Amino acid sequence: MKKLLLSLSLFCITFAIQAQTKPMHWLNQPKKWAGNADKLTVTVDPGTDYWRVTHYGFIRDSGPFYYQEATGNFEATVKVTGSYQELFHQAGLMVRIDNKNWIKTGIEYVDGVQNVSAVVTREVSDWSVVPRNDSPKSIWLKLLRKGDYVQVEYSFDNKAFKMLRLAYFPPNVKAQIGVVAAAPGKKSFPVVFENFMVKAVK
């Protein structure tokens, strides 16, 4: 029995290490960054954003996105701590197939208030927010991709999670999952991503 338990423990540890050491890649690599998936510090370059058509009439696909590739069902988690200063400063998680099919979620700074935010893009973007007047220091995000949907949850203590969004996402297609940020205005800002992890789920 002890040998069986030891073997199972080693298997779980090996699986976790393999999941965490999947190669990471940059889309729109920022000028200043340091670290890895365990702790990544980024200075987000100004003039960067993600959006597609709706209301504003433009297409933006230029924010730093640090990701790994994943297939099937998975859950991604991360802790995000940002020093948001200017309108639409944002940081969080993104799952993406291409520039026309993606979902991003996290904090977006609007009129001096942090908003828990989700943007779902399928050819065109939509946006939903939950304002937070208490300016939380950090946010924990959880993104579940399963079948034909993505479920987004958030927490401010890494214990109690609330659902923000349930959205369609094309099934049976390889996706990119990772941390994302943007600074559409003229000011850069620093953000720290901690404990980014992706695990397969049934």
Phi then psi dihedrals of residue 158, to 5 deg: 65, 20
Lowest-pLDDT range of 1-5, 50-54, 80-84, 190-194: 1-5
Task: Give the pTM.
Answer: 0.89
| φ/ψ of residue 77, rounded to 5 | -135, 155
Q: How far, in Å, CA of 69 to CA of 49, rounded?
A: 21
Chain center to CA of 41? 14
**What is the identity of the amino acid at 61?**
D
Candidate CATH numbers 2.60.120.200, 3.90.79.10, 1.25.40.10, 2.60.40.2240; the one for domain 25-200: 2.60.120.200
Q: What whole-number distance in Å separates Cα of residue 171 and Cα of residue 190?
A: 34
Residues 74-110 have pLDDT tens digits of 999 999 999 999 999 999 999 999 999 999 999 999 9
CB atoms within 10 A of CB 145: 23
pLDDT tens string 131-167? 999 999 999 999 999 999 999 999 999 999 999 999 9
For residue 17, what pLDDT is reported?
41
Structure tokens at 172: 């049976």
- What is the Cα 120 distance to its own chain's centre? 12
**What residues pair up with 124 in beta bridges, in sequence order?**
122
Residue 43, token pair as written in the block: 């200075």
Contact 51, 70 (CB under 8 A): no
Instruction: Single out the residue of 119, 108, 153, 115 nearest to residue 132, CA to CA.
Output: 115
Sequence-distant (≥ 6) Cβ neighbours of residue 130 within 8 angstroms: 115, 116, 117, 164
**Cα 181 to Cα 117: distance, rounded to the nearest angstrom:** 12
